[in-house]
Amino acid sequence: MGDLDVLAQDPVTNTLIGVSCKDWHGQVPGSEQFSHLVEMLEFEDLKHGIFASSTSIADTLPPRAEHVRDKKGLNIILLDYEEISKLKNLAYSQKNWEIEDYFKSNLGLASTKRPTIGDNIKAQKSMVLGKTVECDKMIPINYYDEPPEYIVNRNIIGPTHDAELKLSPYLVINYSLHISVPHPGTGEVLDERSDHGVVIVDALQGNVVAENDPICRHIEKYYTNAEIHYKIQEKGFTVKKLESSINERGIVQHLQDQIAARNEIRTSYLTAKNEKKPIVKRPRPDEVRILGKHIIHVPIWDVRFRIGEKSYRRVYFGYDGSSLYDEMIRCSLCKNSTIAVCTECHSTCCDKHSRTCNACETILCEKSAKICVDCLTSFCSEHEPKTKCGICRAILCGNCNTVSCKGCQTIVCSSHRQKCIECSAYVCTAHAISKKYALVSKNFCSQSCLNMFDENYKSSGMFGKFKKIIKK
């Protein structure tokens, strides 16, 4: 069935299950392949699927599988090499009932085990359904009101409750023109010109969309994928369909006039008397062939994602997820590309300004991270080390809080301690004693160490004094 590799059927409920198998080597199937399976299941009106890979599966897929289950009612199992190996071992052990329970429970089908309260809760969990909206021709939707894939810890971003899917109408005109100027006497072609392409018109305002406009580029690239009689149901989001309000015939005629005018040819030819005469040819508007004109609805998401007390707005295309406006895409500290959201302050952060807690691996921004002043290891608030430098109060982790002042026993960081040149003990800057020898400062932990070094220095010869000066 199309790109479905296997069509399975539950013998108890007769439910059909579409299966996509990826036997790839050196590659990990990701969102594009998963989205294709979703499209195939929707096309065949199947509610259950299995996405299997002989290798691993991209980290982006588990949250997407959860999303399509909640938003589209599609139950899809993700099977990677590890999961398949476990099922094979069950098969070798003749535990077929466990395999059956595995698929039935994960697909939301009736299981052979006794039902539990948890099963009932899971079965009743669904998004609020709203009206169904139909479009004659619409570019299909692959991306829903979900956090962007470029954020690695998007699992911390909660669902939004005010997402709007805007279906905006555009008139797509595909045209072609070819003209030539023949010699009046011989019929030989003096000049010729071809012009063809696509013109996008805003079907609300009647304005031609500029070629460099992202909407124009998007429609020109994907309008041939528009599906006829497309239906979409509100599932936790609002659909706002806008209807065309333009005079299509008038716009097409105006466009033909413009194309004809800009393709005027001015050239010259030689008469039988060898006289050079100019010739001008402007094509008639009806020579501009209209190969097709369609009102296409473009799905554009306008979503506000809430994370704690912060919210971020994103406006993006439903087909490929490319953005028109995105408050999350830039790091809040430097405006480089965002890779994550801080777990604590919920600011966006780039690769340079993101930190990972050494204890729990949660992602933090540079401002929220609790960083050891010596080794620069990061921690979250929950796992922040309790030890601090006795001088500057900077954080010291368990690996760096082992040095204390010989004089006062205060734990100190590397910036606020000195090593005694005589006995190699460490002392804090408050108790360190310093003395210059030939313009070179030497640090001591006590007066006795200074006196000992000083005595040896004075009794040494020139070479000995030089050795003591350069000693560290």
361-380 confidence digits (pLDDT tens): 999 999 999 999 999 999 99
- Taking the whole predicted model, whether its pTM rises above 0.75 is answered as no
In a 3-state reduction of DSSP, which class is residue 229? Answer: strand
CA–CA distance, 333 with 335 (Å, rounded to integer): 6
**How many residues belong to the chain?**
472
CA–CA distance, 426 with 449 (Å, rounded to integer): 12
Mean pLDDT, rounded, of the chain: 87
How high is the pLDDT of residue 404?
92
List 200's β-bridge partners, or say none: 172
Give, for 453, the enclosing helix (H) or strand (E): helix 447-459
The answer on pLDDT for 327 being more than 90 is: yes
The alpha-helical segments, DSSP class H, found in 235-383 are: 248-262
Q: Which of 44 and 169 is assigned the larger pLDDT?
A: 169
How high is the pLDDT of residue 329?
94
Q: Which residues contact 192 (CB under 8 A, 6 or more apart)?
A: 178, 179, 180, 181, 265
Q: Give the DSSP letter of residue 373.
A: T
Tokens coding 311? 């919210």
CA–CA distance, 311 with 346 (Å, rounded to integer): 9
Q: How many Cα atoms within 13 Å fall on the side-chain side of residue 347?
A: 17
CA–CA distance, 301 with 316 (Å, rounded to integer): 5
The answer on pLDDT for 113 being more than 70 is: no
Mean pLDDT of all residues in 462-467: 72
Q: What angle do CA 245, 247, 253 make, to 5 degrees?
A: 150
Q: Are 64 and 31 spatial neighbours (Cβ–Cβ below 8 Å)?
A: yes
146-167 pLDDT per residue, tens: 888 899 998 888 767 679 999 9
